[in-house]
Amino acid sequence: MANGSHFSKFEPYRVKTVEKIKTTTRQEREKILREAHNNMFYIKADDVMIDLLTDSGTSAMSTEQWSALMRGEESYAGSPSYYRLEKTVKYITGYDEVMPTHQGRAAENILFCNVVKQGDIAISNGFFDTTGAHVQNNGGIVMNIPSFTKETIFTDAKFKGNIDISKLAELLVTNSCRVCFVIMTVTNNIGGGQPVSMANIRDTSAICKRYNVPLYFDACRYAENSYFIQKYEDEYRDKTIVEIAREMFSYGAGCTMSAKKDGLANIGGYLALRDSHLARECRQDLILKEGFPTYGGLSGREMETIAVGLMEALDEEYLEYRIGQVAYLGELLIEAGIRIVHPTGGHAVYVDATSVLPHIPSLGYPGVALCGALFLEGGIRAFEIGSLLQGKQPNGSEKAVGLELVRLCIPRRVYNRSHMRYVADVHKYVKDHAENYTGLRISWESTRLRHFTVKLEKISSENRRNKSDDIKQNGY
Ligand code: F0G
């Protein structure tokens, strides 16, 4: 946080424009939750008081970004706004081929349709849901090999976002001809938002080179990851964030990026590559699916805001405040007796829902129940990463994943310490009244990415008996 004095730290921003938070009563929220079928994605944003659903596209832009927006040049081909974005991305990544896209998943789609063939295997420390889905959509098979397990994620180890190097080596020894790429997600969003160490990135790169398999980065939160490398790995203590980022990218063949995170923008992304031949192929898909290569899916003004945001996200004072705010919420929750993934990562606190609602079994979706309780009691919106998100098996059966997390994702430069204290207070209330909240069952679901549109109903005491029968029958 700000300014190195011996006084207490403060958020290093002054407020210039405010957005009023509409407050609601518990009674109103009860109705809203019921009408939303207990799914946070169906709730209107106006009905949410503290929105921790995602850090994606929810950042507050700076005065510099708003000014840059006016500079946006909207030519179809060759806009100077594109060249400003290209220069910034090249400076940070060292990759010469820069293709703007409307957001991260579009960059994934364009890369994967060129590098994934039917039956290929793609490996990651943690595929984000849309990233994995794009591999599958192109006929590939995804393999997640994080270094953490559901037992070790709650230890205090520092780089729990790492890939499991020995599993990677094993997979490449036996399958390297089928592996189309390895993608390192920094930080590891589905793995507690935990960082990946430079040592792990270096080892991964060495193994990939040995087997001639390209290494890419899912770079959404690369600046936050670089900050952790600077703080935790001795040899990087005196390096700047951009030096660390450049070294990290030097180990890879390219990256997909959602500028909605560490680009501090409300929309946008890019694909950046080293290989000009592959880039030529990708540009054909870019034109077809997003737009001409000098705007991709973006307007000139959006490219300007990203170019500025990317540089602002490298500022150490900003990163100290940002990661300090996440850590602060984490400490308040620990004080309230709630188990979290600790030390906290860059963008969110991951709460063990079973430490708040221990009576709800995995297939009663304790994470979803906790999200519902947080909304009901405090108007807070959060995101489940547990058996609802990950429990559906390819054969259609349901499996308890055994790690029932709720992600409290903090938008960048939006909320203050008092909002964090409020969030912790609501958690404490829910924990102290846990018996008031029941598990849920699915009443309707889609075939893919079900968590976005699923409908759930509460298990009433009558239903609860049936549910425990279901659970017994299913052997859980
Ligand atoms: N990769 C990771 C690690 C992500 O977290 C996301 C988005 C994407 C790719 C896709 O980027 O949304 O711009 O298309 N994550 C958001 C989240 C949605 O809430 O974690 P996108």
CB 167 within 8 A of CB 144: no
Confidence of residue 447 (pLDDT cuts 50, 70, 90): confident
Q: Which CATH number fits domain 26-55+316-473: 3.40.50.1100, 3.90.1150.10, 3.40.640.10, 2.60.120.10?
A: 3.90.1150.10
CA of 57 relative to ligand 1 center, distance in Å: 10
Strand intervals (E) in 55-103: 97-101
> What pLDDT does residue 4 have?
57
Domain with CATH 3.90.1150.10 in the chain: 26-55+316-473
Please name the helix (run of DSSP H) or strand (run of DSSP E) that holds residue 359, with its range, or none: none
Map residue 81 onto helix, strand or coil.
helix
Check if 176 has its Cβ closer than 6 Å to any atom of ligand 1.
Answer: no
Counting every residue written for the chain, the total comes to 476
CB 375 within 8 A of CB 36: no
CA of 126 relative to ligand 1 center, distance in Å: 12
Structure confidence by residue, pLDDT tens digits, 301-357: 999 999 999 999 999 999 999 999 999 999 999 999 999 999 999 999 999 999 999
Distance, first Cα to last Cα, the chain:
46
In the chain, the percentage of residues whose pLDDT exceeds 90 is 89
In angstroms, the CA 339 to CA 351 distance is: 6
- Phi/psi of residue 242, nearest 5 degrees: -70, -35
In angstroms, the CA 249 to CA 241 distance is: 12
Number of neighbouring beta carbons within 10 Å of residue 98? 23
- Report the nearest atom of ligand 1 relative to the CA of 218: 1
Tokens encoding 2: 């700000």
Q: Measure the CA dihedral 444/445/451/456, to 10°.
A: 10
- pTM of the predicted model, to two decimals? 0.94
> What pLDDT does residue 461 have?
56
Tokens encoding 163: 């890939």
Look up residue 307 and give its amino acid.
A
CATH node for 63-312: 3.40.640.10
Residue 187: asked if its preceding bond is cis (omega within 30°), the reply is yes
Q: Which residues contact 103 (CB under 8 A, 6 or more apart)?
A: 57, 258, 259, 260, 267, 268, 269, 297
Structure confidence by residue, pLDDT tens digits, 81-110: 999 999 999 999 999 999 999 999 999 999
Domain with CATH 3.40.640.10 in the chain: 63-312
The residues with which 144 forms a beta bridge, in sequence order, are: 124
The residue whose CB lies within 8 Å of the most ligand 1 atoms, and thus the one to mutate among 134, 261, 326, 412, is 261
> What pLDDT does residue 472 have?
37
